[in-house]
Structure 1
Amino acid sequence: MDTPALRIRRVGIDTWRENVAYLHRNCPVVRAAGFQALAKVAVRANGKTIAAVLNVVDDDRIVEACELGLSEDAFARLQVAEGHDVQVAHAEAPASIAALHRKIAGERLDRADLFALIQDVAQARYSKIELAAFVVATHQTGLDRDEVWHLTEAMISVGRRLDWGTQVRGGPVVDKHCIGGIPGNRTSMLVVPIVTAHGMLCPKTSSRAITSPAGTADTMEVLAEVALPFEKLAAIVRETNGCLAWGGTADLSPADDILISVERPLALDSPGQMVASILSKKIAAGSTHLVLDIPMGPSAKVRSMAEAQRLKKLFEFVAGRLNLQLDAVISDGSQPIGSGIGPVLEARDVMRVLRNDPAAPADLRQKALLLAGRMIEFDPDVRGGDGWRIARDILESGRALAQMQAIIEAQGRRTQPPALGEMTHEVLAEAGGTVQSIDNLRLARIARLAGAPQVPGAGVDLLVKVGDSVAAGQALYRLHAQYETDLRFARDLARKDSGYRLGTAHDGDRPGEAEAA
């Protein structure tokens, strides 16, 4: 039976992809219905029902005794005006809860299980506690390749899909994605203007950083708007051939965005979830051809060639089942790519490459040309092996820069881009020698403590790379921060371990590019 009606109060709290309701402890409904904190409740108004996690409060400045407070997410999902009457009842368990319990127990889920589970995830019927249980279970017990295939299908099914129809006239819709884990690896922001200047369609949507100091969307946001609604995103691609947008506002694979909101604080990125996340977004964006970058290195997500090959084969299996042509490249992930780690610093590197600036990082330029060349070779009119040369000519001629400027204007140029953090600290070499290795994870953590990506101008500016000779007391990298506390945290961590390993020139060979596979 429903409880008496309560008035909605919009509580200005961002609960990040979770519906949260607030009731006062003295509310008669709390006592009569036996509600407890963290219980799941059903909130009904105007024929619409949402599930929410209940928080019980004692402060009537948040909600009064006859009010129901709703978080920003819950208020937006219910779609009624503040002050509207609502009814609250105990929520029924999601229909797929039995499948979730079986996965927690280590059992295999079939296609119907995963479709039902992802439907409930997309409808916000699960709390973050329950979502965390699913993420941890799939990380611990894994997903077999059929489960990953069906999970990807399910994620695609609950969102919108872009259809480019006659615009491509049967030609490929291309995209590029990196599995992540390498700081500074902003090749997408170079690849997209190069391949779209060639005339190919490339609707690039990206997530924000999960465990890294910056994602493509975070870095592009330094230059332009990235939170583009579905219709605007489609219009920009039709106008310019491409985009560099955040996928979260386009409603492409929305269940993935909800799962990412749990994966981020847990710092988990299991292979099965990774494959489903990446491929669901690409297929929802209408892509037919994908170049996938799998960096491999001692401090990358993928540590060995055997692991890289296993992941490559899983991507190829799922992509094949979903009619997506995939070209996977296993690349060198032994150190950060480029010089900057953090949104503003990485945007600086990208624009230097596009402007053919002598200060542009050579490794970022070369890797972007390699990947862009592979994408251009999806063009049936391009001979195999010619892609790199075409990509280089587009970059050196200035056409890629002009194309990037067109995409920035179409998405909405930032009139006041964020500045580089003015508070700095240089991390110095304790002794002289040759840089033998750089720990990607350590540098990423230091950059995050400095404030990235939440503070766009924060991060790490690398001054030397693997193979460079340094003298005792020479700066290895410079920290940038906006707040003194952030700078202190990052400085203290760097003081314990800079992430750099120095030795004599014969202690180890400079890592070369991993062989493209």
Structure 2
Amino acid sequence: MLRLKSKDIKISTGGPLIVILNRLDAEELDLQPLDRLKIKHGRKSVVTAIDISESNNGIKKGQIGLFKEVIKELGIKKQTTLGVLSTTIPHSIEIIRKKLDEKELTKKEIEIIIKDLIDGELTEIELTYFVSACYKKDLSFKETAYLIEAITKHGDKIDFNRKIIADKHCIGGVPNNRTTMLVVPIVTAAGVPMIKTSSRSITSPAGTADTMEVLSNVTFPIEKIVKIIKKINGCIVWGGAIDLAAADEKLIKVRHPLRLDPKGIMLASILSKKLAVNSTHILIDIPIGKTAKITTKKEAMSLKKSFERLGRKIKIKIKVIITDGSQPIGNGIGPNLEAKDILYILRKDPRAPKDLEEKAVHMSDLIFKMTKTKASAREILDSGKAYTQFMKIMEEQEGDPKIIPDSIALGKFEYTMKSSKTGKIKEIDNKVISRISRIAGAPHDKEAGIYLYKKLNQKVKRGEKVMTIYSDSKTKLKYAKSLARKSILIA
């Protein structure tokens, strides 16, 4: 094994794990550009692709240039000496090739892929081929079940020692739709435990974790999550901070640049995370609409049947609802704007978006029915019990329970689009709305996003406000503004 001194080159690749070797060191290891290199740092190891520096001006002999992703993966805090060695192609590459040939994989083969993934034996490029193969020829029911089992096996599990643990999941595709932050306090206020490990946004203006982070911390170790659940029955935390489904996090990372979401991998991704927290009753929300992720009833029904069949296989009670995804649910889009919506609803503020409120109440009642809990979601919300419970969750998650909606800041630059004619809102394009919000800066800029004043079929007068776009950048606002009229059809 060759020993090389690390050099932080302070550049990010944007994803792939790549290092730079001096030409002389590469020759000693008999390596060419893009060959595989195994790097060891203490107990951690990772397989990367290599690039080669032809002179001593960049990376000197005896050094290894590290991009930010490799430094993060290996947990390197300062300059150190790393062990490096060329590595053979793992058996999982042959298995991935088999899937590329559209052949069905065995339980053992899927187990090998996931183990190599967790052990850092597969590069992101190689993993992307696996995801692409599953897109080309989707996983069968058996393969999906095997993948769920393998991901769960190679991640941490939390045992809360409860007979019932409720959960919910939305497959996405509709801006805001932030029902989790209402369902969790409503359901847990009735004494039903809910451990919600949520995701950050990758392609949307905000994920649940991004919005919850406006109000509290969302990054906790497993031990702290267990304490929170024991004390108040519920939490809303970022799943990526814990290794409950570590393989899934790596699969997500390579799926999204190409917007690939193979059905089998998506199902395994969702259900492996539910198994990891020992969920017993899960409500799945599938929104359908012209500009949602799922566009047809046929596609939604197929997905519904797959969830239900897999639920029986892994012994979890699953109920699937198909909901309206023809427009954003809620008025605000972007972390801070969505957090305002949540507080408006919980505080019974007249500015509360009724569509989001009604959907959350309906979903909570369905969970009560599934878990045979005698409780009314409407009574819990209207009485203030849900708000009190949400304040407890915020406090346990290191937030400020005294926060009010008006104290949540919005972007300092704004543009309000007004209707150019009198008529009705005939269409709202979810994809364009999301794109505008992201161009404005969401989710990384939590103060950026859109506030909608009008929804489908509502009347609008000429000169009346339709939406306001917020941003902390004049340039970003200019680009976002140019798309505004393409997002809503008035006739």
TM-score interval (norm. to shorter): over 0.9
Q: Is the contact between residue 19 and residue 124 of structure 1 (CA under 8 Å) also seen in structure 2?
A: no
Matches within 5 A, 1:336-347: 336-347=328-339
Deviates more, 1:331-340 or 1:36-45: 36-45
Which of 472, 483, 490 pairs up with 1:493?
A: 483
Give the superposition deviation at 1:101.
0.9
Q: For 1:124-156, what per-residue CA distance to the aligned partner results, in whole angstroms no more than 9, with x for missing partners?
A: 222222222222221222112221111111111
| Change over 3 Å in CA distance of 1:291–1:103 after alignment to 2 | same
SS class of match (2:283): strand
Name the CA distance, whole Å, in 2 between partners of 1:201 and 1:126. 37
Does the 8 Å CA contact 1:344/1:420 hold for their aligned counterparts? Answer: yes
- Write out aligned runs for 1:78-477 (5 A): 78=74, 82-165=78-161, 168=162, 170=163, 172-382=164-374, 390-413=376-399, 419-477=409-467
Within 2, Cα distance between the matches of 1:81 and 1:367?
Answer: 46
Q: Work out the CA distance in 2 between the residues paired with 1:57 and 1:22.
A: 6
* Contact 2:17–2:49, Cα closer than 8 Å, also in 1: yes
Q: Residue 94 and residue 266 in structure 1: after superposition, are their counterparts in 2 closer, same or farther (change >3 A)?
A: same
SS at match of 2:284: strand
Q: How many residues align?
A: 487
Contact 2:45–2:120 (8 Å) recurs in 1: no
The answer to whether the Cα contact below 8 Å between 2:439 and 2:479 also exists between their aligned partners in 1 is: yes
Shift of 1:297: 1.3
Mapped contact 1:185–1:364 kept (Cα < 8 A): yes
Contact 2:245 2:273 in 1 (8 A): yes
- Once the two structures are TM-superposed, the CA of residue 211 in structure 1 deviates from its matched residue by 1.9
Q: Would you say the 8 A contact 1:104–1:137 is kept in 2?
A: yes
Q: Using a 3 Å threshold, how does the CA distance of structure 1 residues 250 and 59 change in structure 2: closer, same or farther? A: farther
| TM-score in terms of structure 1 length | 0.89
- Are residues 178 and 73 of structure 1, via their aligned partners in 2, closer, same or farther at CA, if it must alter by over 3 Å? same
Q: 1:444 to 1:200 in 2, by over 3 A?
A: same
CA distance in 1, matches of 2:460, 2:54: 60
Query: Aligned residue for 1:511?
Result: none
Of the three residues 16, 21, 24, the one matched with 1:23 is 21
- The C-alpha deviation readout for 1:8-40, integer Å capped at 9, x for no partner, is 334545557754323234xx2123334333221
Match of 2:64, SS state, is strand
What's the CA shift for 1:421? 0.9
Per-residue deviation, 1:105: 2.0
Deviations 1:291-328 (A, max 9, x none): 11111111111112111110000011112111111011
Contact 1:230 1:249 in 2 (8 A): no
Q: In the TM superposition, what is the alpha-carbon distance from 1:6 to its structure 2 partner?
A: 1.5
Q: Matches of 1:227 and 1:59 in 2, distance apart?
A: 43
SS at match of 1:338: coil
Equivalents in 2 of 1:276, 1:414: separation in Å?
Answer: 36
Distance in 2, Cα, partners of 1:59 & 1:404: 59
Query: Structure 1 residue 60: deviation in Å?
Result: 6.6
- Structure 1 CA distance, aligned partners of 2:309 and 2:427? 34
Quote the Cα distance in structure 2 between the aligned partners of 1:105 and 1:356. 56
AA aligned opposite 1:195? V
Partner Cα distance (1:491, 1:136) in 2: 35
Distance 1:104 1:358, change over 3 A: same
Counterpart contact for 2:284–2:321, Cα < 8 Å = yes
Q: Contact between 2:154 and 2:247, CA under 8 Å: does it hold in 1?
A: yes
Gap regions ≥5 residues in structure 1: 504-517
The SS at the match of 1:175 is strand
Distance 1:84 1:152, change over 3 A: same
Task: Determine the C-alpha separation between the residues in 2 that align with 1:153 and 1:248.
Answer: 19
Does structure 2 conserve the Cα–Cα contact (< 8 Å) formed by 1:421 and 1:457? yes
Q: Does structure 2 conserve the Cα–Cα contact (< 8 Å) formed by 1:335 and 1:466?
A: yes
In the alignment, the residues of structure 2 paired with residue 35 and residue 485 of structure 1 have an alpha-carbon distance, to the nearest angstrom, of 45
In angstroms, what is the RMSD of aligned CA positions? Answer: 2.3
Letter of the 2:276 counterpart: A
- Alpha-carbon distance in structure 1 between the residues aligned to 2:41 and 2:178: 45
TM-score, normalised to structure 2, is 0.93
Query: 1:243 corresponds to which letter in structure 2?
Result: C
Q: Which segments of 5 or more consecutive residues in structure 2 lack a partner in the other structure?
A: none
Report the CA distance between 1:261 and its aligned residue: 1.1
CA distance in 2 between partners of 1:208 and 1:242 (Å): 19
1:282: how far off? 1.0
Which deviates the most, 60-69 or 373-382?
60-69
Output one character per residue of 1:183-236: Cα deviation in whole Å (capped at 9) or x when no partner. Answer: 010000000011111111100001111321111011101111112122222222
The amino acid that maps onto 1:428 is K
For the Cα contact (< 8 Å) 2:16–2:125, is it kept in 1?
Answer: no
- 1:395–1:401 CA contact under 8 A, matched in 2: yes
Do the aligned partners of 1:16 and 1:261 also contact (CA within 8 Å) in 2?
no
Paired amino acid for 2:365: G
Q: Report the counterpart of residue 515 of structure 1 in structure 2.
A: none
Assess if the C-alpha contact under 8 Å between 1:463 and 1:475 holds in 2.
Answer: yes
CA distance in 1, matches of 2:278, 2:105: 27
Deviations 1:72-109 (A, max 9, x none): 55345546774443332212212211111111222221
Quick one: distance in 1 between partners of 2:417 and 2:265?
36
Aligned-residue offset at 1:486 = 1.4
Which residue does the alignment assign to 2:37? 41
